[in-house]
Structure 1
Amino acid sequence: MIEQVSNRIQSAIIDSPGDLIYVQGVIAMALVVLAITIGWYVGRSLGPFLARMWENRAGYESELAQRRIRNMCRQAVIFILCSIFLSVYRWEVIAHVIFALTIAITVGLFSNNLIRGVRMPGWLGTVIGLLMAAGTVIGLVNEIEAIYIALESVGINFGTRRITLWWVATIIVTAVIFFAIARVVIKVASHIINNMGNLDSSQKVLAQKLATVAILAIAFVLGLDILGIDLTALAVFSGAFGLAIGFGMQKTVGNLIAGIILLMDRSIKPGDIIVVGDSFGWVNKIGVRAVSVLTRDGKEHLIPNENLMTTEVENWSYSDPNVRMKIPVGVSYGSDMKLVQKLLLKAVNESPRVLKNPKPVAWLLEFGDNSVNFEIRAWINDPHKGVGNVRGDIMMRVWDLLKENDVEIPFPQRDLHLRSIDESAANMLMSARDAAIEQENDAE
């Protein structure tokens, strides 16, 4: 159809064969404008649908992401239409260059949006976009094939393989594009796994990590295959690579394996309350290298996975989220002990986060030097919300109830025996005693 239209236009307005080049150039520009118009309308109508589908699949909602998806949809339509226009007719050089430049610019913009959309550096998206555009032009326009020949001529021989500038540029672009696509697939797979209701948090994290490794491995193998690299050639480097892992990366690999083991045996899961050395908090994330432990004061401790495998870890929520608190309370010997016990139980039962089952108790533990010592024992099931705040709430309620009922909370008392004293110090003590006696008499 395009060929018939072009022939009719040419036969109607061409006076000499030389005008054919310019007429085809005008036709090519008109077709490019048509492709851009169709792409704009398709992006406007189909883009929001694809953006919503991406939000549902990847669990990521952003106005910037929606705009990028609409732009990528438009660029894909323009690329497809211009590629069809270029392939269905034998165009002259000007028309061929117009289509090639349009396709190259579209490919560059699409690559830039893709790389920026997966949160890779903006400068990298710009560089890859320019390289993709340049490579597309070189591949489509035969007249500038000299650039390709020049890039292929600069290189070095490495065994039976020749490493050229064109080959290096192709590897860089392919690696970045495949990595960007892999990140998109990883994000979608992670969202799907995260929405699986039959998996707990530990199994979800493990499945996400295994999926990430599998996707990156597939992307790596496909990239090598597309570049035409023989996988058997890599066997030469396997020994050196193994030594590098054994000596230089043993800690990294050890932490990776330890993280997988932790997720498989489910001894530590995201959300658990753990104590490792001086670090207390809940597990925020189990990463490739370390476990993120978030404390109540907002500090995030990164503990290597291997440390959690080799050191003692106190997990408050390993099999049961319930945690028991112990609060000591001392009262004077002249207090009514049964009343004190009732007041302590009333105080702890009024605290909103204390569990009713198991029931809190208040035991008389010992007769101390200066006080009769009780201990409140109560359970909570949400230690991730803090333990100190519950303890403080209970102690404040105990203080108020004991004060209301005239129960004295004693303080340590000591008797001081003086074997010898300076005369001036003795006079000062006697004067202080006489002043205190006079003050008491005046008060009476």
Structure 2
Amino acid sequence: MQGETPSGDGATPGAVPVEQAWSLAEPAQEESAVAAAEGAKEALSSQSATVGSVVDTLDAVALSFGDFRVSLFDVLVVGSVIIGVLLLAWFVSRMARRLVRRMTRLDDTQQLLVEKIATIIVWATAFFLGIDLLGIDLTALAVFSGAFGLAIGFGLQKTFGNLIAGIILLMDRSIKPGDVIAVTDMAGNESFGQIRKIGIRAVSVTTRDQREYLIPNENLMINQVENWSYSSKNVRMQVPVGVSYEADMKLAESLMLEAAKDCDRVLAAPPPTVWMTEYGDSSVNFVIHCWIDDPEEGVGNVRSAVLKKLWWLFKENDIEIPFPQRDLHIRSSDQFDRLIEIMGQAKDGPVAAKD
């Protein structure tokens, strides 16, 4: 207005000085940085004077980094919130697993897939719940969180890759708990084992000798895998047998079939078969082909049972199991003939002396 004159410091009427504006902004910034601690402090202080004095004492013990101040009370509040959120997430995820296992309409693979998805949802919700309870402003940490997220992305690339690979394996049901797969160790020796668990990072495979292999999920998805239980649990196994050239081949073949059929775990359909594979150096070699439907119970024990039964059948029917034989041909020479002559004289010498 025309009658009004500016103040001596050049400020317009009703304006707040710059120094006073900064002084008002600083408490608001500090309060937003520790919103959870401030709210807890006010709530506890309103309970009683004693509790308020304890809170003030804890709040007085603090460290300052420039404009940033962290007190012991702030640490206790933040720690309590984090522990509470973790316990809540653990309890909810455990209850979700129990609820999923009661769904009888889902098979084991579907239940495991639902459990993993539910676990991811629960822990993601717990993370954002903790952020909200602590009053952390993520927009203020946008630059830092971007750089931190990039570093975590490179560091945990394999971990997230194995997590996604495990979910994909469960979705297409190519690998599931209970399957029997072939396993190759670091020395190149191949064995087989049963899948016990599909975890976040790796698949647990236990062999017959109770060795547990932890195979990354990503390896099972991108590499070739021999799954004995993918479409059917029927597995054909081979039992090599050798008999003498002098044996009755028809009788030997019938005894091999009898030994395979008498084994409890060998299936009647498909029936066992016997193939002649080769004429060996010392024996005629056969292979007994028989089928089982429980490879997780072992393969070597079935082969052993068939061979034990066949041993006694061969004994009862005079079928010889040959040992390696070699024919030795020695060329004659003057030195060799002289050696034989000397050996003969040495043998006859003591006899002549006795006479």
TM-score interval (norm. to shorter): 0.7 to 0.9
C-alpha distance in 2, partners of 1:188/1:400?
A: 58
Shift of 1:429: 8.2
Shift of 1:368: 2.7
C-alpha distance in 2, partners of 1:400/1:365?
A: 23
Q: Which AA in structure 1 matches 2:142?
A: A
State how 1:20-419 maps to structure 2 within 5 Å: 140-153=47-60, 154-156=62-64, 162-278=69-185, 280-419=192-331
**Alignment deviations for residues 30-56 of structure 1 (CA, whole Å, 9 cap, x no partner):** xxxxxxxxxxxxxxxxxxxxxxxxxxx
C-alpha distance in 2, partners of 1:371/1:302?
A: 43
1:362 to 1:182, Cα distance in 2 relative to 1, 3 A: same
Q: Which AA in structure 1 matches 2:48?
A: V
Q: With the length of structure 2 as denominator, give the TM-score of the two structures.
A: 0.76
Shift of 1:424: 9.0
Q: Which AA in structure 1 matches 2:76?
A: A
Shift of 1:234: 4.4
Equivalent residues of 1:276, 1:312 under 8 A apart: no
C-alpha distance in 2, partners of 1:230/1:327?
A: 69
C-alpha distance in 1, partners of 2:121/2:240?
A: 54
Shift of 1:376: 0.6
1:369 to 1:182, Cα distance in 2 relative to 1, 3 A: same
Equivalent residues of 1:365, 1:373 under 8 A apart: yes
Q: Secondary structure at the match of 1:163?
A: strand
Q: Secondary structure at the match of 1:168?
A: helix
Q: Which AA in structure 2 matches 1:156?
A: S
Q: Secondary structure at the match of 2:329?
A: coil
C-alpha distance in 1, partners of 2:66/2:317?
A: 92
Equivalent residues of 1:245, 1:253 under 8 A apart: no
Structure 2 residues not aligned, in runs of 5+: 1-41, 186-190, 349-355
C-alpha distance in 2, partners of 1:295/1:391?
A: 17
Shift of 1:226: 2.3
C-alpha distance in 1, partners of 2:46/2:328?
A: 100
C-alpha distance in 1, partners of 2:206/2:46?
A: 53
Shift of 1:413: 1.3
Q: Which AA in structure 2 matches 1:321?
A: K
Q: Secondary structure at the match of 1:151?
A: helix
Q: Secondary structure at the match of 1:280?
A: strand
C-alpha distance in 1, partners of 2:342/2:250?
A: 45
Shift of 1:422: 5.7
Bigger fraction of residues in helix:
1
**Alignment deviations for residues 186-209 of structure 1 (CA, whole Å, 9 cap, x no partner):** 112112212322222222211111
1:145 to 1:425, Cα distance in 2 relative to 1, 3 A: farther
Shift of 1:164: 2.9
| Identity value in percent | 53
C-alpha distance in 1, partners of 2:91/2:218?
A: 30
C-alpha distance in 2, partners of 1:239/1:221?
A: 17
C-alpha distance in 2, partners of 1:430/1:241?
A: 94
C-alpha distance in 2, partners of 1:247/1:387?
A: 43
C-alpha distance in 2, partners of 1:213/1:179?
A: 13
Q: With the length of structure 1 as denominator, give the TM-score of the two structures.
A: 0.62
Q: Which AA in structure 1 matches 2:285?
A: N
Q: Which AA in structure 1 matches 2:327?
A: D
1:373 to 1:166, Cα distance in 2 relative to 1, 3 A: same
Equivalent residues of 1:344, 1:376 under 8 A apart: yes
C-alpha distance in 2, partners of 1:428/1:337?
A: 48
- Give the stretch that moved more between structures: 244-253 or 421-430: 421-430
C-alpha distance in 2, partners of 1:311/1:363?
A: 33
C-alpha distance in 2, partners of 1:428/1:250?
A: 82
**Alignment deviations for residues 330-356 of structure 1 (CA, whole Å, 9 cap, x no partner):** 111222222111111111111001111
Shift of 1:139: 6.8
**In the alignment, what sits opposite 1:80?**
none
Q: How many correspondences in the alignment? A: 299
Shift of 1:406: 0.5
C-alpha distance in 2, partners of 1:299/1:218?
A: 37
Q: Secondary structure at the match of 2:210?
A: coil
C-alpha distance in 2, partners of 1:138/1:429?
A: 116
Q: Secondary structure at the match of 2:246?
A: coil
Q: Which AA in structure 1 matches 2:321?
A: I
1:424 to 1:170, Cα distance in 2 relative to 1, 3 A: farther
Q: Secondary structure at the match of 1:314?
A: coil
Q: Secondary structure at the match of 2:330?
A: coil
Q: Which AA in structure 1 matches 2:64?
A: I
- Give the stretch that moved more between structures: 291-300 or 236-245: 236-245
1:218 to 1:139, Cα distance in 2 relative to 1, 3 A: farther
